[in-house]
Structure 1
Amino acid sequence: MASLGQIIFYTMIILIVIFAAFIILILALAFSGVGGRVQSTNTSPIGNLSDDVLLSCYLNTNHQRAVNDISVTWKKANLAGLVYKYENGAPDLTDQNSQFKGRTLLFLDKLMTGNASLLLKGVRNSDRGEYTCSISCSEGAGKVNIYLRTAGASPPATERCENGKISQMHA
């Protein structure tokens, strides 16, 4: 028959093994790659003035998720208010900065695959700067910074031949 000391000793050993297995299981789940990573295909896009520009942002994951399970926030550095916000299955533009009203579009049908890219319409000089795309969902969370540069578009040059002379014309 085992003494009380031996019973306590073996019970403690069993509890230590169970807790160690539990901790290993938790760590394995945490680092199993279930989560995603927020990325951009172009962190320094150039937008021509008056044109539209796409600010790329997506959650790199292999899993599908419900649209209402994802939250996307676009912010611009040194600017009060938001550029765009999607939460609880719908756009939430109550805190949108007036500079972006009617000029931003998120592709809602692409959110299921983690694509949270923002289309900025009619680029202005004041749009230049650093934007942050933040994505949060059950698959993971993260953010990426994108620096938008602006440029003036030059009109196309055409050539005209008259009396054997070639001259350039601008539209």
Structure 2
Amino acid sequence: MTRVSLVCSLHSIALWTLCWVSGEETAITAQYGKDVTLTCIFPSKFKISFHRLSITWTKEGAQGQGLLVHRFYLKMNWREGQEEAYRGRTQLYPQEFPQGNASLRLSDVRLQDEGSYLCNVSCELGSWSQKISLIVLSTVPLPVPR
């Protein structure tokens, strides 16, 4: 095997290792009005160039389309295209990226925040995704039908 094809083969193996979607959907419970962290851990075994790191959080909408919750790209948080309901309520932890942590903090949780979220992480080595199901608990008594 030539040196070039060996390097290409190793690069392909690295991409294959990082390109996957977690099969299980993690469930997280939050209390209405409180803050919650949606956990998203990605493989960080390789030295990743964080100026090429892209982290996108979406929420599954009514017709299955993804609503943009938060986007980090080119070392910046991008508010363009962010769903209005999430503006000023989301935060990532850039200091945690080298450890493979792309978790999202969602403040002042609302009942309409409940649903399925998708964390997408991509870099020069490939892509990785994780699904999270958020369940919102409310202490407000629901009206009793008469």
> Is the pair's TM-score, using the shorter chain for normalization, greater than 0.5?
yes
Q: TM-score, normalised by structure 1?
A: 0.67
Correspondences of 1:73-112 after superposition (within 5 Å)? 73-78=56-61, 81-112=67-98
Q: In 2, Cα distance between the equivalents of 1:104 and 1:68?
A: 21
Q: Aligned AA for 2:36? A: V
The partner residue of 2:29 within 31, 46, 54 is: 46
Larger Rg: 1
Is contact 1:38–1:135 with CA below 8 Å preserved after alignment? no
Q: Deviations over 1:51-89 (max 9, x none)?
A: 111101121121233331200000011166410000111
Gaps spanning 5+ residues in structure 1: where? 1-18, 155-171
Q: Aligned AA for 2:97? A: L
Q: Which has the higher relative contact order, 1 or 2, with Cα contacts under 8 A spaced 6 or more apart? A: 2
Are residue 113 (structure 1) and residue 99 (structure 2) matched?
A: yes
Correspondences of 1:8-157 after superposition (within 5 Å)? 26-32=8-14, 35-36=17-18, 43-78=26-61, 81-153=67-139
Gaps spanning 5+ residues in structure 2: where? 141-146
- Alignment partner of 1:31: what SS? helix
Structure 1 pair 152–81 and aligned structure 2 pair: CA distance change class (3 A): closer
Equivalenced residues, count: 136
In structure 1, the partner of 2:143 is: none
- Alignment partner of 1:135: what SS? strand
Structure 1 pair 110–28 and aligned structure 2 pair: CA distance change class (3 A): closer
Is contact 1:35–1:61 with CA below 8 Å preserved after alignment? no
Is contact 1:38–1:57 with CA below 8 Å preserved after alignment? no
